[in-house]
Amino acid sequence: MIRSALELTVVVVLLTFFGLVMVHGTTTAEVIERSKSMPIEAQFMSHVLHTAASLLICIIVYWIGHTFILQHSFEIAVLIFCGILLVYIPGVGMRINGSSRWVNFLGISVQPSEFAKYFFPLALFNAIQRRKKLNLQSFFIILSVYMVGVSSIFFQPDNGTVFVLLTMLSVALFLSKVPLKYWVPPLIALSVLGGALAYNMPYVSKRLSVYMNPELDILGRGHQPYQAKIAAGSGGAFGKGLGKSMQKLSYLPEARSDYIAAIIAEEFGFLGVSIVLCLYMYFGLIALKNLYKADTEEEAGMGMIAVFLLLFQVFIHFGVVSGLLPSKGSNLPFISHGGSSMFISAILVGILLSITSKRQGFHA
């Protein structure tokens, strides 16, 4: 178990260190391109501070232990829900690019929905596991509470996170061994309804049309997907070399976060992208291997939800960069710039390390 925990730690450290290198390159290029009078290291130092804070969070979560977190998953989910509601309060919530997703707390911006991606499905999983016998009525009550949380994010609007939460819902229900007849038909109906509502939103329909053909709006919504393809394609098999990306010179917006995989492809080519993906795959294999040895089904399910969320976000990020999926803000775990994303990734790693080392920590 100690060896497995060490292997997980080494993979995370490698990805995080690589992220520091990539974020430093992209932020430095952005600052030089926009204004040489700005402090070049300011943006990078914020990423360093986020990384240091993430390390501390990971240690704290490991010290607390996964058992305590699982037992109090509902209370944590309620706190996150309250944080989501705060984004709608003027002066507290921050509206950026037409969306209200951030809360300004003591000068620090936090995105509560990032934490909901894990703790909402975990709370649902724990609520079902605590019931020795689940009837249809109690199941729909639990499901309704979950959908209230999803709806609070839908109206921000943040359809990407809603998609993740619906996917995580199916994972949590599957791991809870809820009969398929209870949740597959309602989930399909909710997905269709949500898809219809989202499609009728002007910015969503425009995003989908651009997804099909980015060249239709190359100076607007199609700009990022189009430039990402240029970046990835120009990297070839072995890339241009570290620091030699052209797209990060303000050609590709949000290069340090939502599209950092495109810069990796440009500088390190297909080989570099393959190595990064192999590290994520190795992380997932080691984590799942140890979760099969977990003491209880609750521990195994808790860990599997964490592993699936991390790897699912990797899939979304690379899917967006490659053009396989519509453009949406999605950070690459451990690598992209972004405090909230790094914090939830650190929490997930702390939980996995706690389960792997069989640390019980605090008890309620």
SS3 assignment for 238-270:
CCCCCCCCCCCCCCCCCCCCCCHHHHHHHHHHH
Per-residue pLDDT tens digits for 63-89: 998 999 999 999 999 999 998 888 887
Q: Of 9-18, 136-145, 254-263, give the lowest mean pLDDT range.
A: 254-263
Question: What is the C-alpha to C-alpha distance for residues 222 and 227, in angstroms, rounded to an integer?
Answer: 9
d(CA 333, CA 19): 9
Domain that holds residue 180: 2-356
How confident is the model over 217-222, as a mean pLDDT?
A: 63
Interior angle at CA 82, CA 77 and CA 83, nearest 5: 95
Question: What tokens does 180 get?
Answer: 């398929």
Predicted confidence band at 279 (pLDDT cuts at 50, 70, 90)?
Answer: very high
Closest CA to 282 of 292, 271, 270, 290: 290
| 157 upstream amide cis, omega within 30 of 0 | yes
- DSSP 3-state of 83: helix
Asked whether residue 228 is domain-assigned, the answer is: yes
- pLDDT at position 120 is 95
* Res 306: pLDDT: 95
**What is the band of 93 on the pLDDT scale with cuts at 50, 70, 90?**
low
Residue 363, domain member (yes or no): no
Please report the pLDDT score of residue 350 as a whole number: 94
Answer with the residue of higher pLDDT: 272 or 326. 272
As to burial, measured by CB atoms within 10 angstroms (0-12 exposed, 13-18 middle, 19+ buried), residue 150 is buried
The domain total for the chain is 1
More confident residue, 18 or 209: 18
**Strand pairing partners for 93?**
90, 103
> CA-CA-CA-CA torsion for 335, 341, 344, 346, nearest 10 degrees?
20
Q: With respect to residue 116, please indicate whether it lies within any of the assigned structural domains.
A: yes
In Å, how far are 14, 239, 326, 343 from 340, measured between CA atoms? Answer: 20, 30, 22, 5
pLDDT at 161: 87
Q: Are 290 and 4 in contact (CB under 8 A)?
A: yes
Is residue 331 one of the residues assigned to a domain? yes
108: alpha, beta or left, given left = phi > 0 and alpha = psi -120 to 50? beta
Residue 152 lies in a domain: yes
Give the separation between CA 108 and CA 95, rounded to whole angstroms.
14
Task: Please check whether residue 88 lies inside any domain of the structure.
Answer: yes
Is residue 364 in a domain? no
Residues 235, 238: Cα–Cα separation, whole Å: 7
Distance CA 341, CA 147 (A): 22
- Percent of the chain exceeding pLDDT 70 equals 81
Integer angstrom CA distances of residue 292 from 31, 288, 321, 355, 361: 47, 6, 33, 11, 20
Mean pLDDT within 116-133: 90
Is 90 exceeded by the pLDDT of residue 122? yes
- The angle formed by the CA atoms of residues 144, 150 and 155, to the nearest 5 degrees, is 125
Whether residue 30 is predicted with pLDDT greater than 70 in this model: the reply is no
Using 50, 70 and 90 to split pLDDT, how confident is the model at 121? very high
**pLDDT at res. 33:** 54
Partners of 96 in the β-ladder: 99
Q: What one-character-per-residue DSSP string does 9-52 give?
A: HHHHHHHHHHHHHHHHHHHHHHHHHH-TTS-TTHHHHHHHHHHH
- The Cα 129–Cα 251 span in angstroms is 49
Percent share of the chain, pLDDT over 90: 32
Q: Does the pLDDT at position 363 exceed 60?
A: no
Residue 47 located in a structural domain: yes
- When pLDDT is cut at 50, 70 and 90, the band that residue 315 belongs to is very high
